[in-house]
Amino acid sequence: MPLQFFNTLTRAKEEFRPLIPGQVRMYTCGPTVYNFAHIGNFRAYIFEDLLRRFLKYKGFKVTQVMNLTDIDDKIIKGTIELKVSLSDFTSPFKKKFFQDLDTLGIERAELYPEATAHIPEMVEIVKKLLAKGLAYEIDGNYYYSIIKFPSYGKLAHIDITGLKAGARVAADEYEKESVSDFALWKAWDERDGDVYWETELGKGRPGWHLECSAMSMKYLGETFDIHTGGVDNIFPHHENEIAQSEGALGRKFVNYWLHCEHLIVEGRKMSKSLGNFYTLDDILEKGYPPVAVRSVLLSTQYRQQLNFTFEGLDAAREGLKRFNDFYRNLRDYGGGESSGEADDFIKKLLTDFENALDDDLNISPALGALFDFIRDINRLKAEGKLSADERVRALQAVEKINTVLNFLIKDWASPRQDSQIDAMIAARADAKKRRDYPAADKIRAQLLEMGIILEDTPTGTKWKRKL
RNA sequence: GGCGGCUUAGCCAAGCGGUAAGGCGGAGGUCUGCAAAACCUCUAUUCUCCGGUUCGAUUCCGGAAGCCGCCUCCA
């Protein structure tokens, strides 16, 4: 099966063909750094991580750009409230964002350009739009005239004649030619404090959509392969990016638009007022391992709404224990007499896993293939029908799959040097030899208190960390 | 008001015209001093509801109910 993605532009699954064979250039909408990201945000970043990792798995060279929006209304408001500079306000959020990416095992993009570092590029686009008659200026504000861009609405499938002034249109934008026109550049006023840039367009700051047009074309070229974001970005953000980029350059902006659905919590929209609003730290403070959060956010296909529940998080943790136990136990396995079945299981795993993800990143059957494999190989092991050579090939297959999933926990289980743990295990072995089981069980209980779980095997006692 | 998505076992979640993957949970069994890990068996006669098309529908069509969105700065 060829790799297929559901393209928001055409509302259909399409075979993926990058502009340059073997290379993928993609732009993934990043955070606005005005507060800490919530788990809904991370659902999007995890989806993008899956996309990126699977493309690499398929052998593509990936160039991913993720923007950091470090200038917008909320950020300006924050700088004024806290009486700090723009960069002093945003830098802690930027730092925390990258920490959280690491915590969730999200692979870094090639580039994280910041909006504030690309003001000249944005000004250039506005100048091009002005020259083409697609933009106009009123009192230092520059707007895009969407009526001059006939295909406006093609991504969101919105008929612009149906767009009407809504309650959410700010009162200070009354001077626009049309209420649906959007701001490219906003003139400075006193509410902006000392946040402004002196440019050919005057003293002011960029509109929200402009940065993505400017930075994507700078780093990925005027036309590139994939652009992603949450479904809420389809309109107006991505629609406006298309208008800006295609209007300024007169050529197609992006070939494949992928949007991930939102996450809801316990069947309800996540909101602060419902008390079901969670940042990553909120979840981790409850004692869940980060990889369980990764698993929950990854395990529902990206175009399905994801219902985040703590019951689901518990289930994810148990499933990860099984996967990590499987991997560790397979690594420690000595080998037996081959029944000839293992290579068929390996082949089936790799085929089914790849076929599932080829189909618009359909993760559920891919995970189904993995758990089938775990059961099949464990059965062969239990029956002594897995050879040492087959064991190596099975491990390689699992490791290959883990380059996409990233579910294996490093340094989770023995063997590893830890004098205290090793001494306690030795003391317990002594007690067991004397058949002093109460003493042995006491040591085991002490280790459990320390978060260490023991497993007695024919080749000795192994230990692992409690997940 | 306009446009769109979803509803499958206790929970999560595939399948989308030929008789329900997988995970978690639960029950029983094997192994073990006991655990842990692992293996085996069982756990939806049925896919929100009501009609229709069809030899046959969870899958297609129509309608209803519930939930979640977008309609100018929220992933």
> If you average pLDDT over residues A320-328, what whole number do you get?
96
φ, ψ for residue A391, nearest 5 deg = -60, -45
Spatial distance from the CA of A293 to the C1' of B44 (Å): 28
Euclidean distance between CA atoms A261 and A40, whole angstroms: 10
Euclidean distance between CA atoms A257 and A237, whole angstroms: 13
Q: Which nucleotide is nearest to A178 (CA to C1')?
A: B72
A172: confidence class by pLDDT, cuts 50, 70, 90 = very low
**Is the omega angle on the peptide bond into residue A289 within 30 degrees of 0, that is, cis?**
no
By CB atoms closer than 10 A (0-12, 13-18, 19+), residue A16 is buried
pLDDT tens figures, A303-315: 999 999 999 999 9
Which chain A residues 262-321 have CB under 7 A to strand B? Answer: 262-264, 267-270, 299-301, 304-307, 309, 311-312, 314-315, 318-319, 321
E runs forming strands in A326-459: 452-457
Are the CB atoms for A426 and A376 separated by under 8 Å? no
Q: What is the pLDDT of residue A415?
A: 57
By CB atoms closer than 10 A (0-12, 13-18, 19+), residue A193 is middle
Q: Which nucleotides of B are covered by protein (CB under 7 A)?
A: 2-3, 5-6, 10-15, 21-25, 32-40, 67-75
Spatial distance from the CA of A290 to the C1' of B60 (Å): 43
Spatial distance from the CA of A262 to the C1' of B66 (Å): 19
User: ipTM of this model?
Assistant: 0.94
Spatial distance from the CA of A118 to the C1' of B47 (Å): 53
Euclidean distance between CA atoms A229 and A45, whole angstroms: 9
The yes-or-no verdict on residue A61 having pLDDT over 50 is yes
Q: What is the pLDDT of residue A175?
A: 64
pLDDT tens figures, A177-193: 777 789 999 999 888 98
Name which of A108-117, A156-165, A214-223, A351-360 the model is least confident about.
A156-165
> If you average pLDDT over residues A341-356, what whole number do you get?
97
Mean pLDDT of chain A: 91
Spatial distance from the CA of A266 to the C1' of B66 (Å): 15
- Decide: CB of A232 under 7 A of nucleic strand B: yes
Euclidean distance between CA atoms A350 and A354, whole angstroms: 6
Residue (of A168, A164, A167, A136) closest to A149 by Cα position = A136
Residue (of A23, A466, A386) closest to A224 by Cα position = A23
- Decide: CB of A333 under 7 A of nucleic strand B: no
Percent of chain A exceeding pLDDT 70 equals: 96
Residue (of A149, A54, A170, A177) closest to A107 by Cα position = A54
Amino acid at A90: T
Which chain A residues 342-401 have CB under 7 A to strand B? Answer: 359, 362, 364-365, 367-368, 371-372, 374-375, 378-379, 381-382
The yes-or-no verdict on residue A267 having pLDDT over 50 is yes
Euclidean distance between CA atoms A230 and A39, whole angstroms: 13
Euclidean distance between CA atoms A461 and A386, whole angstroms: 22
Are the CB atoms for A9 and A154 separated by under 8 Å? yes
Q: What is the pLDDT of residue A317?
A: 96
Amino acid at A135: A
The yes-or-no verdict on residue A171 having pLDDT over 50 is no
pLDDT tens figures, A355-386: 999 999 999 999 999 999 999 999 999 999 99
Spatial distance from the CA of A365 to the C1' of B46 (Å): 21
Are the CB atoms for A244 and A185 separated by under 8 Å? no
Are the CB atoms for A208 and A72 separated by under 8 Å? yes
- Decide: CB of A432 under 7 A of nucleic strand B: yes
Which chain A residues 18-37 have CB under 7 A to strand B? Answer: 29, 31-32
Give A258's contacts (C-beta < 8 A, 6+ positions apart): A5, A6, A7, A8, A51, A226, A227, A228, A302
- Decide: CB of A78 under 7 A of nucleic strand B: no
Euclidean distance between CA atoms A86 and A99, whole angstroms: 21
pLDDT tens figures, A132-149: 999 999 999 999 999 899
Q: What is the pLDDT of residue A166?
A: 39
- Buried residues in A153-191 as b, exposed as e (16+ CB within 10 A): bebbebeeeebeeeeeeeeebeebeeebbbbbbbbbeee
